[in-house]
Amino acid sequence: MSDVTIYWRPGCGFCARLEDTISAVRERATWRNIWEDDEAAAFVRSVNNGNEVVPTVVVDGQAHTNPDPGLVLAALADS
């Protein structure tokens, strides 16, 4: 089973594309809004050279910046 956390923010087109792609299994992921969660925003900056690039997705402890939605879908489908 894959552990998936998705860091996102409202108004992000890449986040919306990811959410649309994984809609059937979206509840299997943990979603963290970086505009409402200071710890989440700090994590995203820590893995993106100080930038708040979203979506940042952590799959089994490995961070992926703006990953291919298929990668996230595959990880969640295995959950």
Condensed to tens digits (0 to 9), the pLDDT of residues 42-63 reads: 999 999 999 999 999 999 999 9
**pTM surpassing 0.75?**
yes
What domains, with CATH codes, occur in the chain? 4-68 (3.40.30.10)
Any bridge partners for residue 33, and if so which? 8
Condensed to tens digits (0 to 9), the pLDDT of residues 2-41 reads: 799 999 999 999 999 999 999 999 999 999 999 999 999 9
